[in-house]
A and B are shown apart, each in its own frame.
Chain A
Amino acid sequence: MHKHLPGESIEQKIEERIEEGRFIKFLGKNVVGIADHIGKLVMLFLQIIFWTFRRPYDYKNINKQMNEVGVNSLVVASLTSVSVGMVLALQMGAASKNILGEPLYVGTAVGFSMVKELGPVLTSIVIAGRVGAAITAELGTMRVTEQIDALYTLGANPVKYLVVPRFLACIVMVPILTIYSNILGILGGFFVSVYKMAIPSTRYYHDIVDFMRGKDIMHGLIKCVVFGIIIALISCYKGFTTEGGAEGVGKATTQSVVISMVLILVVDTFLTNILQFVGIG
């Protein structure tokens, strides 16, 4: 409650109330807007599940998307993971040398970091940038040029025809690329350890296999399936809801990449907590 304080004029009070009104309106609009997006995302997700299990399968299109998401991302995923593996080995080697006098547990640090965190997160972020942007731009252009409406009128459901192949490609290819990135990252670390820090190769090997359990690998794989879902869902949703011509496509693409990347990092935090809580990794 506002009391009329001495020295406070009626105009000031009115001004304050207007400010409050504006603030509540601003807050309300945003809360409603976000709730609306979440609702539509859930609806899209349910539609994807429905159409995924409905025959016939469009193998040609699924294959094309798998190629696009998986095979065409190999180079960029390789470069990222090898570099990260090497840097990890260098840093861990230097740190343990400073503290303990010799490079210790380099394989363990590289292996665990890659398999549980950096493999899934970095691969997903690279794919969100490369594939997520392409999906939003393509679907967004189809939306603004009425091609998505045309699909409806020609008896094809756009979710079945456009989204399901991309969704399947993401949830299958992100984990496969992650496994590939993990291997390359560990190999990168291996080369630095063996040839730069003169760690015996058997020691690097045992540093990993003596400690790593099946559930550590599971931990990483569960994460990247979830990240794959995030990338497909956000990029398709943003593409489908694009409006406003070429400028709209640009905006939607940027938003799609930013939202996917931030969500991957935020969800990673929660997911790590949950997975550790239930005893997976």
Chain B
Amino acid sequence: MIKLTGVYKKFNSQEVLRGLDLTINAGETMVIIGRSGCGKSVTLKHIVGLMKPDKGSVEVDDVNISTLPPLELQSIQKKFGFLFQGAALFDSMNVSDNISFGLRTQHLMNDEKQIQERVTECLRLVGLEGIERTMPSELSGGMRKRVGLARAIAAKPQYILYDEPTTGVDPIMSDAVNDLIINMKEKLGVTSIVVTHDMTSAYTVADRIAMMYHGVIQQVGTPDEIKNTADPVVKQFVAGTAKGPITLEDRG
């Protein structure tokens, strides 16, 4: 279980998180929606310990990770797989080395044959067989993202955080990514947190959806609750209309 309590975060003078509370139960898929720049990615980075809150706490399986020393934090971070917005593939390594990186650094597998099998399996799951020796610079944006996804799932983590998994991916592949997220949950019991503004994807994969606005969670609910919400802010966002309480200048 992941629990964020009263999380505040400020960058220079800009307050991004203003007392955010959110609980993600074990085994569920939580989708976080909200406007670009409202702090969704920042929230994800707090969950995995890449950022520390100015105030408040982030608990992963009842351990407060915001006060942990680096080495202990590193052992908690092994529970996570993270798909970055821009994939964040290592430029100096080919696809296979990228995917197997976590397996090697965490010594999860030592047998080279086993590692290669896992790499092939992960690539098959994201529909990219046979590109093991390709360098990231030779891949398209969507392909990079899928390799990033393969890397995130390679070590079979307990939690997977997806930062905009369907952005820049074609509609057919986007549906395949949704299936993959659902499969990870159903087959492996993975807890997923998905940041997106793709509402189709959100409704498909989510057990619960949380809408972020002005640095806090505006509403949390099941996809049906969010679809039929009475909250004008959430209503405007999910309907995708320019008119309403959220103005174009208001980044949330």
Interface residue ranges, A against B (CB under 8 Å): 141-142, 145-147, 149-150, 152-157, 161
Contact = CB atoms under 8 A, between A and B. Distances in A.
> Which of A141, A142, A155, A157 gathers most chain B CB within 10 Å?
A155
A22 B220 CA distance: 47
Contacts of B155: 154-155
Contacts of B80: 153
Contacts of B88: 145-147, 149-150
A122 B200 CA distance: 61
Nearest to B101: A154
A147 B91 contact: yes
A149 B74 CA distance: 12
B81 A153 contact: yes
Contacts of B90: 142, 147, 150
Contacts of A152: 48-50, 74, 77
A145 B86 contact: yes
A149 B101 contact: no
A150 B84 contact: yes
A177 to B, nearest CB: 24
Q: Is the interface of B mostly helix, strand, loop or mixed?
A: loop
Contact of A153 (B70, B82, B85): B82
A145 B48 CA distance: 17
Interface residues of B, number: 24
B82 A150 contact: yes
A154 B89 CA distance: 12
Given A153-B50, A154-B101, A155-B105, A146 B86 contact: yes
B18 interface: no
Interface string B57-100: 00000000000001000100110111011101111000000000
Given A149-B45, A150-B90, A155 B84 contact: no
B101 A156 contact: yes
Contact of A149 (B50, B70, B91): B50
Contacts of B74: 152, 155, 157
Interface of B: 45, 48-50, 70, 74, 77-78, 80-82, 84-86, 88-91, 101-102, 105-106, 151, 155
A154 B86 contact: no
B86 A155 contact: no
29 contacts: A141-B91, A142-B90, A145-B88, A145-B91, A146-B85, A147-B89, A147-B90, A149-B45, A149-B50, A149-B82, A149-B84, A149-B88, A150-B82, A150-B90, A152-B50, A152-B74, A152-B77, A153-B48, A153-B77, A154-B101, A154-B102, A154-B155, A155-B74, A155-B77, A155-B78, A155-B106, A156-B105, A157-B70, A157-B74
Contact of A146 (B49, B81, B84): B84
Contacts of B82: 149-150, 153
Contacts of A142: 90-91
Contacts of A153: 48, 50, 77, 80-82
Contacts of A154: 101-102, 105-106, 151, 155
A149 B90 CA distance: 11
B34 to A, nearest CB: 20
A274 B238 CA distance: 69
A149 B89 CA distance: 11
Nearest to B151: A154
Contacts of A150: 82, 84, 88-90
User: Across chains A and B, which 7 residue pairs bring their CB atoms closest together, nearest first?
Assistant: A154-B102, A146-B88, A153-B82, A150-B88, A155-B106, A156-B105, A146-B84
A161 B49 CA distance: 19
Nearest to B84: A146
B102 A155 contact: yes
A157 B74 CA distance: 8
Nearest to B90: A147
Contacts of B85: 146
